[in-house]
Structure 1
Amino acid sequence: MADQNTSNTQPPEHKPESKMKHIVSFGAMILLTVAAFVLVLRDVVPVVWVLPLMLGFAVIQVLLQLFTFMHLDQKGSFYYILFIAFGVMVAVISVTGLVFMP
């Protein structure tokens, strides 16, 4: 009877594919970070392409973190995504205004 009570208080087990998803995403983020360092330390690509590639790597890492570790791909996260999108929009407008300010 004691076993029955303890099974109700234990948290549910995570699915194995969820753990694998976290490991694969973390590995991808590490590889993107290493790739960014290699781009800067060695002349792998022309200098003109370094900044756009690094920004692309950063965007991919942000999306991986949002959807893997912050669980924005789960049901009921619409408002979180909406608020993040609004914040990004405000940031882009602010930076654009600062860049083109006389």
Structure 2
Amino acid sequence: MQKPVVEQQSIRNERESEGRYLLSFVWMLLFTGISFALVGMKLLPNLIIPVILLLASLQVLMQLFTFMHLDFKWYLTATVFMGSGCIVAATAIIAMLFWV
């Protein structure tokens, strides 16, 4: 007996989301490994901080969109508040860099 179409779509969506979580997790592990390798091997001494900050920001974005589901259409309010919080945080960080 064949399963209903709705149940088949549900199973397919679960597999796609599991694969998406796994792929995102692997990318985050890769970003962390690259950061540790750059620091441990002292590669790119002049660019180490910008590269690590770039990898960290990519990792944060991946976590927000993968695990906090900010890519869903009905989470627009949460996305706007998270984005504005990131802008305020970046402004504060830049101000602190110029203050010192």
Name the TM tier (shorter chain). 0.7 to 0.9
Residue 86 (structure 1) shift: 1.2
* TM-score, scaled relative to structure 1: 0.78
Tell me the secondary structure at the aligned position of residue 30 of structure 2.
helix
Corresponding residue for residue 98 of structure 1 = 96
Corresponding residue for residue 75 of structure 1 = 73
Corresponding residue for residue 3 of structure 1 = none
Corresponding residue for residue 18 of structure 1 = 17
What is the rounded CA distance, in whole Å, between the counterparts of 1:84 and 1:54 in structure 2? 22
What is the rounded CA distance, in whole Å, between the counterparts of 1:36 and 1:96 in structure 2? 22
Q: CA contact under 8 A between 2:38 and 2:44: conserved in structure 1?
A: no
Give the counterpart letter for 1:22 in structure 2.
Answer: Y
What is the rounded CA distance, in whole Å, between the counterparts of 1:25 and 1:74 in structure 2? 16
Q: Which runs of 5+ in 2 are unaligned?
A: 1-9
Q: Which runs of 5+ in 1 are unaligned?
A: 1-11
Percent of counterpart pairs with the same letter? Answer: 34
Post-superposition CA distance 1:22-59 (Å, at most 9, x none) = 0000011011111100000003x321111111011101
| Count of aligned pairs between the two proteins | 90
RMSD (CA atoms): 1.7
Residue 99 (structure 1) shift: 3.0
* TM-score, scaled relative to structure 2: 0.80
Higher Cα Rg, which structure: 1
